[in-house]
Amino acid sequence: MTKEIPNQKSEWRGRVKPLRHSCFVILSSFVLLNSSFCPAQQPAPVPAKKPATDGKVWGALVYATTDAAKLTGSTEKAPENQKDLSGRLGKVFTPYTHFEIIGQHFQDVFREYESWVVPSRDLFLKIDSKGPAAGGGMNLHLQVWREQQVLVKTDAVLHPGSPLFIGGPKWRDGQLLFVLDLQRK
Amino acid sequence: MKTPSDENHDLIRWLDGEMTADERRAFEATLQNDPELAAEAESMRQLSESLKTHLPAEMPVPHADFFNSQIQVRIAQMELDDAREREKAAESTAGWLSWLRMPWLVGAAAAAFAIAGLVWTQNSSSGTSTIASTYTPNPSVHAQVFHSADAQATVLMLDGLEPVPAEKKIVGFRVHRAESDAEVATTTLFDENGSVLAVVALNAKGQPQVLK
């Protein structure tokens, strides 16, 4: 009967094998954690795709009054291509003599989404593009909103340089007006 | 041999009085020999009489003006699309005219196009904005549209609006640009420095809310 002598080399291997396995697990975890938290190894963010547009509009909320002393003190200035705005408004909205821009908004008209022209939270406009019109114009569906109440829905064809003046509600001793102008491309 | 659909067709024509005298006599003879068809005819006749009694001959379409104008706008758009398609088709069929590639003709054509383009640009820049239709949900509000030649503007006058209370402070924005998020149906408004001025979001009723 012979007694089997344990092989020291195989015993050493048997003890080292689990240790190597543990090292592998720890190392793998470290690599994984490191790669998860290291921003330099993250893929570059995909830039947001800019939505297609059919044009650009300028919208403004204007306060019309006969008394200069009643103006709100707004510092808004008309853009360069609207320098004669007060004169043009005065030809339509009589007897008002003073026209003050309260707020203004340059807005791209999105081709597939609705566009909002919000020169003020009190009176603003929703625009849906219906595509280009003959002669460089644009077919639009417009909605004028006063807070959460739609005042009017309209289909319009706008042309650059031929603004739409909307006579809105009375306010104080004057009237609120909305101006919408299609910008030249 | 007549199929059931033919019989139904005859039945409808008989009910509507669209048969000739011979056809009516023949059909009524069929009814006498076919109790099932006769019962159906009687049932439909009663239903027809009941409908005629209880429903007016003509019903007004709600907001007919707006409805009609919407149809006219759609027709105009379809005509425009058709015209564009025809132009494209004409351009594509013009490809076989290889003689147009002669140098002197190319120059002349370029000059003609340049002049035409200039004329077109001048015409387009003098285009007048128009309003095709208006609809005011509040019946006490009336929309009046006219063009002011003096002001070179199209005017949409809303009469009958409730005045804004005098004590209400109207605060204006100077919006430089906006970004829309279609997934959550919001539009974020930015000033010229890139700061957020407000966010337009739709509530459950589809009404806009301007949030800050």
HEC profile of chain B: CCCHHHHHHHHHHHHCCCCCHHHHHHHHHHHHHCHHHHHHHHHHHHHHHHHHHHCCCCCCCCCHHHHHHHHHHHHHHHHHHHHHHHHHHHHHHHHHCHHHHCHHHHHHHHHHHHHHHHHHHHHHHCCCCEEEEEECCCCCCEEEEEEECCCCEEEEEEECCCCECCCCCCCECEECEEEEECCCCEEEEECCCCCEEEEEEECCCCCEEEEC
Q: Across the interface, which of B69, B158, B189 has its CB nearest the CB of A155?
A: B69
Q: Contacts of residue B172 in chain A, CB cutoff 8 Å?
A: 61, 74, 76, 101-104, 119-120
Q: Across the interface, which of A105, A114, A163 has its CB nearest the CB of B153?
A: A163
Q: Contacts of residue A146 in chain B, CB cutoff 8 Å?
A: 161
> What SS3 state is found at A138?
strand
Does the CB of A49 have a partner CB in chain B at under 8 Å?
no
Q: Across the interface, which of A72, A92, A167 has its CB nearest the CB of B158?
A: A167
Q: Look at A88 and B10; give whichever has higher pLDDT.
A: A88
Contacting A residues, span 102-141, partner chain B, CB-CB under 8 Å: 102-108, 110, 112-124, 126, 130-131, 133-137, 139
Is B14 part of a structural domain of the chain?
A: yes
To 10 degrees, what angle do helices B21-33 and B35-54 make? 120
Q: Can you tell me the distance from the alpha carbon of B20 to that of B34, in angstroms, rounded to the nearest whole number?
A: 21
Q: Contacts of residue B66 in chain A, CB cutoff 8 Å?
A: 153
* B67, B123, B148, B154, best to mutate vs chain A, most A CBs in 10 Å: B154
Is residue B173 exposed (0-12), middle (13-18) or buried (19+ Cβ within 10 Å)?
buried
**A175, pLDDT greater than 80:** yes
Is B11 part of a structural domain of the chain?
A: yes
Is residue A95 exposed (0-12), middle (13-18) or buried (19+ Cβ within 10 Å)?
exposed
CB pairs under 8 A between A and B: 218
Q: Across the interface, which of B120, B164, B172 has its CB nearest the CB of A76?
A: B172
Give the CA-trace dihedral at B80, B85, B89, B90, to 10 degrees. Answer: 10
Q: What is the pLDDT of residue A23?
A: 42
- Residue B201 pairs in a beta bridge with B186, B209
Q: Flag if B174 and A105 touch (Cβ within 8 Å).
A: yes
ipTM over 0.90 threshold: no
Is B13 part of a structural domain of the chain?
A: yes
Q: Flag if B164 and A103 touch (Cβ within 8 Å).
A: no
- Predicted confidence band of residue A43 (pLDDT cuts 50, 70, 90): low
Which helix (H) or strand (E) segment holds residue A132: the answer is strand A123-133
- pLDDT averaged over every residue in chain A: 83
Does the CB of B78 have a partner CB in chain A at under 8 Å?
no
Please tell me whether the peptide bond between A95 and the residue prior to it is cis, using omega within 30 degrees of 0: yes
Is B116 part of a structural domain of the chain?
A: no
Is B67 part of a structural domain of the chain?
A: no
Q: Flag if A171 and B138 touch (Cβ within 8 Å).
A: no
Calculate how close chain A gets to B151, using CA atoms only, in Å: 4
Q: Contacts of residue A159 in chain B, CB cutoff 8 Å?
A: 124, 127-129
Domain hosting residue B195, numbered range:
164-212
Longest CA–CA separation in chain B, Å: 88
Q: Contacts of residue B70 in chain A, CB cutoff 8 Å?
A: 155
Q: What is the pLDDT of residue B85?
A: 75
Q: What is the pLDDT of residue B18?
A: 83
How do the domains of chain A map onto residue ranges? 9-41, 53-182
Q: Contacts of residue B203 in chain A, CB cutoff 8 Å?
A: 148
Q: Is the separation of the CB atoms in A141 and A155 below 8 Å?
A: yes
Is B79 part of a structural domain of the chain?
A: no
> What's the number of domains chain B is made of?
2
Q: Flag if B156 and A167 touch (Cβ within 8 Å).
A: yes
Q: Flag if A154 and B151 touch (Cβ within 8 Å).
A: no
Contacting B residues, span 169-208, partner chain A, CB-CB under 8 Å: 170-178, 180, 182, 187, 189, 198, 200, 203, 207-208
Does the CB of B122 have a partner CB in chain A at under 8 Å?
no
The label of the residue with tokens 């092989």 reads A7
Per-residue pLDDT of chain B (212 residues), as tens digits, is 566 667 777 888 888 888 888 888 888 888 888 888 888 888 888 887 777 777 666 666 656 666 666 666 667 667 767 776 777 776 665 555 544 555 555 555 555 554 444 444 444 445 899 999 999 999 999 999 999 999 999 999 999 999 999 999 998 999 998 888 877 778 899 999 999 999 999 888 888 989 87
Is B138 part of a structural domain of the chain?
A: no
Please name the residues in contact with B198: beta carbons below 8 A apart, sequence gap of 6 or more. A118, A121, B173, B188, B189, B210, B211, B212
